[in-house]
Amino acid sequence: MRKTNVKSPLLLLLAAVIWGIAFVAQSVGMAYVGPFTFNAIRSVIGGIVLLPVIFFFDKGKNKRTTAGKKTLILGGICCGVCLGVASNLQQIGIKYTTVGKAGFITAMYIVLVPVLGIFLKKHIGVKVWISVALAVIGLYLLCMTEEFSIGRGDAYVLLCALVFALHILTIDHFSSMADGVQMSCIQFLVAGLISAVLMVIFEEPSPGAIRSAWLPILYAGVMSCGVAYTLQFIGQKDMDPTIASLILSLESVISVLAGWAILHQKLSIRELFGCLVMFGAIILAQLPAGTQKER
């Protein structure tokens, strides 16, 4: 077992709180600017915020080879494309659903990651299939209306969760070959570029509207992208990845609490039970496999 100090879980918990509250910032920002404008600015801010972090962590490191730089850039671009698509789907979805529902449906990526692993010829245990079944039940309770149809916003966020799962797998592929913070900086800039292109094509942002949304955009860019990622990077270094994932998955719970406390968004008893079932699926999907003694 890896030894964990008290600081590491607290840093990860703070990251989860920041990400959970970010759903409120995203929802409030949509009252002033379009989803592509919001993501374009926040992503670029996130990339800029990470530059001093890169400078700090890069001190004393050996210079990369040409092959290493190519891998870093390729990984950053691939992750940035996934992040750009996922974040814009999420931002559009938040316009039509509540903050709490968006947070829990987004957390479905934790269950979808091992399922997508089937296509990479990874073994999928019974535990994961139970998680998937619970997640489907939770989604039904959370999203389905009496007419047996999923809401427009919920559908966008569910697609966002699928792309976020692809994003996680892409990070997993490149993480051992490139610096995480540097790759994250590149991915934010790529995601910002993708969002900026979509912004120019589909939206007409005005300086006045952007100024009105400065606080939620700044929070999403500085806190959600820059600070929270750095907290995750530092906190997860000395922690068991399973425990780290469990702490970070509290983001979904924080999103519900933040939506209730700040935006006064309420969930029905049925929707709250759906959240509870989905959270159980998320936790079950992250529990370590192996023998009873190993667990």
In the prediction, which pLDDT does 196 show? 97
With respect to residue 106, please indicate whether it lies within any of the assigned structural domains: yes
Residue 98 lies in a domain: yes
Which of 3-7, 39-43, 172-176, 198-202 has the weakest average pLDDT? Answer: 3-7
Is residue 232, in this structure, part of any structural domain at all? yes
Share of the chain above pLDDT 90, in %: 36
User: Which DSSP string corresponds to the chain?
Assistant: -----SHHHHHHHHHHHHHHHHHHHHHHHTTTS-HHHHHHHHHHHHHHHHHHHHHHHTTTPPPPPHHHHHHHHHHHHHHHHHHHHHHHHHHHHHTTS-HHHHHHHHTTHHHHHHHHGGGGT----HHHHHHHHHHHHHHHHHHB-TTS-B-HHHHHHHHHHHHHHHHHHHHHHHTTTS-HHHHHHHHHHHHHHHHHHHHHHH----HHHHHHTHHHHHIIIIIIIIIHHHHHHHHHTTS-HHHHHHHHTTHHHHHHHHHHHHS-----HHHHHHHHHHHHHHHHHHS--S-TTT-
- Predicted confidence band at 294 (pLDDT cuts at 50, 70, 90)? very low
Question: What is the model's pLDDT at position 151?
Answer: 87
pLDDT higher than 80, residue 24:
yes
**Is residue 144 situated within a structural domain?**
yes
- Asked, for residue 228, whether it belongs to a domain, the answer is yes
Is residue 139 in a domain? yes
Q: How confident is the model at residue 1 (pLDDT cuts 50, 70, 90)?
A: very low
Average pLDDT over residues 83-112: 89
CA 131 to chain centre: 19
pLDDT, one tens digit per residue, over 257-274 is 888 889 888 888 888 888
Instruction: Please give the average per-residue pLDDT across 231-248, as a whole number.
Output: 71
Q: Is residue 295 part of a domain?
A: no
- 25-62 pLDDT, tens digit per residue, is 999 999 999 999 999 999 999 999 999 888 887 765 66
* Domain extent for 161: 7-57+65-286
pLDDT at 104 over 80: yes
**Residues 84-92: what's their mean pLDDT?**
95
Quick check: is 38 in a domain? Answer: yes
Average pLDDT over residues 85-100: 92
Tally the domains of the chain: 1
Determine the pLDDT at residue 42: 95
Q: What is the pLDDT of residue 55?
A: 82
- pTM check: above 0.85: no
166-193 pLDDT, tens digit per residue, is 988 888 788 778 887 888 899 999 999 9
